[in-house]
Structure 1
């Protein structure tokens, strides 16, 4: 029987009915309230909407935050009101269905493992390049969540000691150099020293610095803007450097690159692969991870959370 997967984001709640083959049969969406009771009301609302048209066996919630190892509680989610909240039990009682929680990157990782670019992989890494970096890790074909359920926070590996400040409180984190936010920050830094290299971005930045977003820089790079291409080359460099560090630790068979920035992969992925090959330890004397783009797009967390809910008896590593 199908299950409902729900991607609970900071601005929107996106839900889908997912069958056993990973196909999304129907969807529903609403805004994200920032009051705990209202948030749970909104989730119940999208579930009721979908259940009015489909018979489902379980519900999976994908959350950007720290999910307890037993996948029943949210310990902390920076853009949501839950704090040490027994969300799965509360929502299960309310909906009359089994409810499973999962970190959104883990849910996307599992979807790519079951149905997408990491299918059949024993050891794999998923890296979601968006506002920051989300990550998931497969070991022996199982999601690895760490001792307390919060692994792996790869985006906060220190890649540049003393580098850009990160909202996490540290500096030089990987996601400060390799994400949509980082792409915009790099472009703004370049504009400060060489504005003549991009009359388009320079004009936009002068009118409104907030107009220089990662999406806008990627678009300018696709149009051949020299400064935007330089910013994209910097992202590629740091992606390759970070992947080499990850490969030194985990030695994955496959690395899957997802998230919103991955839509611009033709602009940076080949260069990132070259940097990875140069930077990984013993690069000339070892097999290398296949670096691929994700196949399930922005539905990955929905598909993964629904599938995990339907298969909630799976062993937790």
Structure 2
């Protein structure tokens, strides 16, 4: 070999070693996150890495404040091992659920546990007004973050519309938004990474990571708020379709020549089974004194049979759409989330009856229908998870 070839070979070998070290560091960190408390010897056993390699990588992670020593463990005959745990307070993430009529925010540690929360009513939809309210909410959450090695590592957000890979909201029909460059604006304002996805996708991720969807391979999350969206998880992976826009099943037509929708279609499912449909129908029935979902739930709880019947009628439509989802996707579970999950007591029976009546027997045999374990906080927790996952991806590539 000549000198140039020697240098190229040395460079390749150095690069290969650096890549292997990154991979092994990721393996060790994942083992601690998933199975702590663990000793160095236990990490070696779980990962198949030799003890010297584990010891070196653990020291790097200790130096980086990503893991911590928690004290002695049980002895198996010799010296007590030092146990290791993930340091969830090494940094924090902001999660935002931007709804049609609300903004919900959470500050979470790196385990996804909530440290601080914010919720406010969104009274108008103009992008300038909504962005101002959104920035104020994020500022309050960032200010609530305790001191930490990595600070606030990112912002994750779920929004009620179609989002592209650049974090632009292409179309949010219930907010009348088109082509809003939300990620660019927020990254310029806060100088930290921002991840934006459809709210139903964020909700699906929240339930898969922290709620009713844990460990389930095939699940559909149905977000029922002012509109309806769905997050589709197949083989434990979020399905986003060829262009990244899957899950808009709220715009599945359930009435051939039904009501006109803001999306341009007619007879969309969300026109008959959403929170907006509930409030519209309440007004048509002369129940104008109940002008919010909360007041309608209170009336149902108090025994108002007119309101209970209204919820049942909405539940029938909700069950109709869910039956279509089950017949198409054959999932293990369908999870109903977002604000209408608060009305579980008055929706559930009608939803189950309609699903049972309309689904194919082989599809119905194994499917489980449930309401979100995180109730209306699935999307905000999933949004925080987006920011945390992106942080880990950066750490593992360093």
TM-score, length basis structure 1: 0.81
- Count the aligned residue pairs: 296
The residue correspondences of 1:86-97 to structure 2 (distance < 5 A) are 86-97=181-192
The runs of 5 or more residues in structure 2 that have no matched partner are: 1-90, 146-150
Tell whether 2:322 aligns with 1:243: yes
* Cα contact 1:8–1:63 (8 A) shared by 2: yes
State the distance in 1 between where 2:144 and 2:311 align.
44
Deviations 1:7-64 (A, max 9, x none): 2234443322112333210124566575555654544443333333322111112211
State the distance in 2 between where 1:3 and 1:311 align.
10
**Structure 2 residue aligned with 1:279, among 341, 353, 358?**
358
Tell whether 2:89 aligns with 1:2: no
The runs of 5 or more residues in structure 1 that have no matched partner are: 192-201
* Cα contact 2:240–2:246 (8 A) shared by 1: yes
State the distance in 2 between where 1:53 and 1:232 align.
39
State the distance in 1 between where 2:305 and 2:126 align.
45
Tell whether 2:308 aligns with 1:229: yes
* Cα contact 1:187–1:227 (8 A) shared by 2: no
Describe the shift of the 1:172–1:12 C-alpha distance in structure 2 as closer, same or farther (beyond 3 A).
Answer: closer
Corresponding position of 1:170: 265
SS in structure 2 at match of 1:291: strand
The residue correspondences of 1:23-38 to structure 2 (distance < 5 A) are 23-29=113-119, 36=127
Corresponding position of 1:258: 337
SS in structure 2 at match of 1:311: helix
TM-score, length basis structure 2: 0.66
* Cα contact 2:220–2:331 (8 A) shared by 1: yes
Corresponding position of 2:168: 73
Aligned Cα root-mean-square deviation (Å): 2.8
| Aligned-residue offset at 1:3 | 0.7
The residue correspondences of 1:194-205 to structure 2 (distance < 5 A) are 202=286, 205=287
The residue correspondences of 1:92-171 to structure 2 (distance < 5 A) are 92-171=187-266
Describe the shift of the 1:10–1:160 C-alpha distance in structure 2 as closer, same or farther (beyond 3 A).
Answer: closer
**Structure 2 residue aligned with 1:64, among 135, 145, 160?**
160
State the distance in 2 between where 1:51 and 1:285 align.
46
SS in structure 2 at match of 1:268: helix
Structure with greater Cα Rg: 2
